[in-house]
Amino acid sequence: MSIAARVNTLVDRVIEEERITGAVVLVYRDGEPILEKAAGFADREAGAPASLDTIFRYASVTKPIVAVTALVMIEKGLLKLDDRVSQYLPWFRPKAPDGREGTITIHHLLTHTSGLLYDPALELLPEAQRMTLGLGNTDLSLEENFSRHNAIPLAFAPGRRWGYSFATDILGGVLGAVHGGSLEDAVVHHVAGPLGMADARFHVTDPTRLAVAYADHPVRPVRMPDPWVSADEENWRTVFSPARIFNPKAFQSGGAGMAGTAQDFLLLLEMLRAGGGSLLSPDMARAALSNQIGDIEGEPGYRFTVVGGLITDATAAMTALPKGVIQWGGVYGNTWFIDPAERLTVVSLTNNALEGCNGAYPEMLRAAVYDR
């Protein structure tokens, strides 16, 4: 059975089982489609089917787009990897654990080695100190929200280890400041516009094509309440607000704030896989998919690039993906990977949190691609 047949069968099955409500799955080899499939419902209650141009909330699929924007701006000479964040955002000066100001650089933000963390406790602080981490609704600006971290020590000294975080939100603030305007202005000017990513924005370009968000439930996914607070098997607490994307007062979250189509995101991944095209030099595109954290402490079986996790030991990473693959996702229900050796790029966007990202489905999809 071919990759296309295996993936097609799997997607039909998870839709029939109601594990997944709506999905768009793209499987490309050498830039050519092996499979382009839309299945299930963008809005189950209205009977509206998912289609290839359905717009999904990206969540952390936003991060690689913002990271690539930074790389493009670096190659244009607009900023440097070793620049201090405080040069551009003088209001952001959190302290290291030893009490001294943490010297956070652009490289630290890109590689999640800054000492910042996605700490659920930050969303449980008293109201005057509370931060939203990019998915919950807010009327606060980026500065109003994250300047509150100045009173909270970093989890570790910058560069000491890897810790997944809202660092890309701070990076987004830097890019907006350097470009002169909003983060969306920078992303569209440097990346989304040149690549033709027509719907990849921090607002919804066409609300009639936006998929309804669904939340996991023991019986079947339910239309996501607003707000919705999830807790996964490790008690990782996440605050969601489907309405956030429509709130013009909410800061543009570089870590979680975009929406767009599967094809939009595939254009970005294919540009990286193919060597940068007209957007990045071959060396920078190669660096974007390479280990950028060295041997410091990180996730078992993984190193981190600037766009996702690089598989170094599939057994330790507990995945069907082979060594050398770069993968990540987005907690609203998305997963993706690039296999440079096999010249494969796979994007799966669903409207199911957390199943489409952190549930069983992503690994089922990976196993189907590799017939494992």
Please give the DSSP secondary-structure letter assigned to residue 306: S
The pLDDT, as a whole number, for residue 233 is 53
Both structure tokens of 149: 């971290």
Question: Which pLDDT value is given to residue 275?
Answer: 98
pLDDT tens digit string along 238-249? 999 999 999 999
Residue 277 region by backbone torsions, left for phi larger than 0, else alpha for psi between -120 and 50, else beta:
left
Residue 167's pLDDT band (cuts 50, 70, 90): very high
Residue 232 pLDDT greater than 80, yes or no: no
The reported pLDDT for the residue numbered 234 is 55
Q: What is the mean pLDDT of the segment spanning 114-131?
A: 92
CA-only gyration radius of the chain, Å: 19
Mean pLDDT value of segment 126-144? 96
Question: Residue 314: pLDDT above 90?
Answer: yes
- What does the pLDDT read at residue 101? 86
Q: Is the pTM of this model over 0.75?
A: yes
Both tokens of 133, joined, read 């981490």
- Residues forming the active site: 60
Give every CB contact of residue 105 below 8 A, 6+ residues apart in sequence.
81, 82, 83, 84, 85, 158
One-letter amino acid for residue 302 of the chain: Y
Pull the structure tokens for residue 188. 């569209």
User: What does the pLDDT read at residue 354?
Assistant: 94
Q: How far, in Å, CA of 309 to CA of 329, rounded?
A: 10
Dihedral sign for Cα 41, 262, 69, 199, please.
negative
What DSSP string runs through 260-317?
A: E-HHHHHHHHHHHHTT-TTTS-HHHHHHHTS--STTSB-STTEEE-SSSEEES-HHHH
- CA–CA gap between residue 255 and residue 271 (Å, rounded): 20
